Amino acid sequence: MTPAFTVVVPTVGRTTLSTLLRSIDACPPPYPAEIVVVDDRPGSPPPLDLPTTDLPTTVVRSGGRGPAAARNAGWRHAGTEWVAFLDDDVVVGSDWTLRLAEDLDVAEDVGATQGRIVVPLPGHRRPTDAERGTAGLAGARWITADMAYRRATLAEVGGFDERFPRAYREDADLALRVCRVGYRVVGGHRRTVHPVRVDPWFASLRAQAGNADDALMRRRHGRRWRELIGEGRGRIGSHAVTTAAGVLGLAVFAPAGSRLRSFGVGAAAVWVAATAEFAVGRLLRGPATSAEIVRMAVTSVLIPPLACAHRVRGARRARRTVREPAAVLFDRDDTVIVDVPYLSDASLVRPVAGAASALRRLRGAGVPVGIVSNQSGVAIGLITPEQLGEVNARVVQLLGPFDTVQVCPHADRDGCGCRKPAPGLIRRAAAELGVDVRRCVVIGDTGADVGAAVAAGALAVLVPTSRTRAAEVESARRTAMVAPDIESAVDLAMGAMR
């Protein structure tokens, strides 16, 4: 049976939108349940001029908040199992819907499938710098020029991160988060053409604003983020050297004969060599026309300092906007240590795989960590308070110190306010740490852990085990986040405070 799908197209009103909609309309069945055009023009613009098609089309407004916010508005409007995102300047293949349906016939662990992007380049000459930029889309991973996601997967990770203000990196950020919660992103067989745009003369300078988004990617995904998305090292390091040499080279204007002037001459020579290397590398890949030579020469001088300025701006913004959680609170049994029913023997404590590294990461980031654990064995006489203390001491010995340890020793019949899913343990932990409970994240393996977090006003991440009931997982997908392991859960926790 063909999965139902909705097509979401964000737009700022480009004329190419009509061409795209007609290309979808010309495709054979199966047809999309709906095409959602997300009008992301700011203010109160006139209605979009859409072509008449046979497919149900809905226009949703997103208020000019950028492509990430527009796509979020689109998929949240959709009610189908799958959501296929297209850019408004592409043209789908003549059998695109048929191939899409085939691409969506995948295993349950596939959260997204990517279409094949084709960028037609001139055959009679080498491509210009702008054309090479567009051609890079053909080999890029995870770009939403043609990407279909399970709607449930989008809901699980919270959709696109709207802190990415432009159509750059927000797609890779989403795919990384989707993979970290246990889904695969696979390539499909459908084909979509992305024509080369006619960009203005200084388009390469405007593109340097993306360096600010690179800073956010590093803040969210660590130093290896380029490797994770399949890119090379980038040139920001070279640009920094070039810019620094250019600034220091100004000392060449110091009084003649001074050491400062000699230093400036050396720095200026480094700037000239670095700028020439950058310009020549760009020129050799493009057409040797006078216009392109002038453009490469001028922009190669301006790009390094502009790229660095955007990177510094982005790093400052990322520090302000990416907030770590105030605390991360863990259930104990089957979350940080292997569950042994009514554990009373400290020698049987065994850490869960990945627990030590996950806790090290949090401690290294300065995030307080705690344990919140139901221990009804105390109430029914299977564990003495002394044994409980010895077990918890062994946990600390193996996994390091916790900033708070909160235990409920009561049984169900006691009707206390601390036994999860009641919120007492979570609130007590936040109070002891002196943090806002709404900025705490609770990680556990049962619905009771999720319920306690929700009741307390905290966020929750469920890490299911073989004993977690299917209904608990399904419920958590609606009210919390779900991760395949403790390290992935910490990834989600570290990105949860938006």
CA pair distance 87, 76, nearest whole angstrom:
17
Q: What angle do CA 40, 175, 220 make, to 5 degrees?
A: 90
The secondary structure of the chain, three-state, reads CCCCEEEEEEECCCCHHHHHHHHHHCCCCCCCCEEEEEECCCCCCCCCCCCCCCCCEEEEECCCCCHHHHHHHHHHHCCCCEEEEECCCCEECCCHHHHHHHHCCCCCCEEEEEEEEECCCCCCCCCCHHHHHHHHHHHCCCCCCEEEEEHHHHHHHCCCCCCCCCCCCHHHHHHHHHHHCCCEEEEEEEEEECCCCCCCCCHHHHHHHHHHHHHHHHHHHCCCHHHHCCCCCCCHHHHHHHHHHHHHHHHHHCCCCCHHHHHHHHHHHHHHHHHHHHHHHHHHCCCCCHHHHHHHHHHHHHHHHHHHHHHHHHHHHHHHHCECCCEEEECCECCCECCCCCCCCHHHCCECCCHHHHHHHHHHCCCCEEEEEECCCCCCCCCCHHHHHHHHHHHHHHHCCCCEEEEECCCHHHCCCCCCCCCHHHHHHHHHHCCCHHHEEEEECCHHHHHHHHHHCCEEEECCCCCCCHHHHHHHHHHCEECCCHHHHHHHHHCCEC
Structure tokens belonging to residue 234: 């980038």
Q: Does residue 129 contact residue 295 with C-beta atoms inside 8 Å?
A: yes
403 as an active site residue: the answer is no
155 φ/ψ angles, rounded to the nearest 5 degrees: -65, -35
Q: Does residue 481 contact residue 154 with C-beta atoms inside 8 Å?
A: no
CA pair distance 407, 333, nearest whole angstrom:
12
334 as an active site residue: the answer is no
Structure tokens belonging to residue 28: 């054979």
* Catalytic entry in 88, 331, 334, 491: 331
* Catalytic entry in 87, 146, 333, 445: 333
Q: Which residues are catalytic?
A: 331, 333
